[in-house]
Amino acid sequence: MQMVMYCSLAVLIINSITFKKAMNTNSQLKIKKMSPQFLVTDIDRSIEFYTKKLGFELEFRYEDFYAGIIKNNCAINLKCGKPTIEERKSKRENEDLDIVFSVEGVEDLYEELVSRSVEIIQPLCDRPYGREFYIADPDGYILAFLEQA
């Protein structure tokens, strides 16, 4: 019994050392880009919204169910699926944001998106941390645009 316990302890110690090495924050890991993924009901509609209304570019498209859009190295991946109506409704009621974009010229951007008939969830307003507004995409994802103070 004692030998099994010592072997188990030795394995635990070795695994702990290996884990610590793997999680070393001084590693050479460099994150180049982050791309959240949105489930969308109609990928063509979503691509059109993000490219025509928000000025993103189509980065890639894979068959009829997956695409990536990008603007200034900020990317979103779009995947055909069924976002839950309950989740989208709850996020909207609570103004739970899906993405916050830090921008310059938030007032001009706001006026431009209003003129393009983008659905505004929260009008442009002043906050202690800056000026911001929220919009909704066709699937109900809430995007915030913030110009920090």
Instruction: Give every CB contact of residue 47 below 8 A, 6+ residues apart in sequence.
Output: 58, 61, 67, 69, 78
Q: What is the pLDDT of residue 45?
A: 96
Whether residue 79 contacts residue 40, with contact meaning beta carbons closer than 8 Å, is answered with yes
Domain 86-149 fold is: 3.30.720
Element (H, E) at 41: none
Any bridge partners for residue 62, and if so which?
66
> Domain 32-82's class?
alpha beta
pLDDT tens for the chain, 149 residues: list them: 333 333 333 433 444 444 455 555 667 888 888 899 999 999 999 999 999 999 999 999 999 999 999 999 899 999 999 877 887 777 777 778 999 999 999 999 999 999 999 999 999 999 999 999 999 999 999 999 999 98
What does the alpha-carbon distance between residue 87 and residue 120 come to, in Å, rounded to a whole number?
19
For the chain, the structural domain boundaries read: 32-82, 86-149
Tokens 């070795």 correspond to: 14
Q: What is the pLDDT of residue 93?
A: 79
Q: What is the pLDDT of residue 32?
A: 82
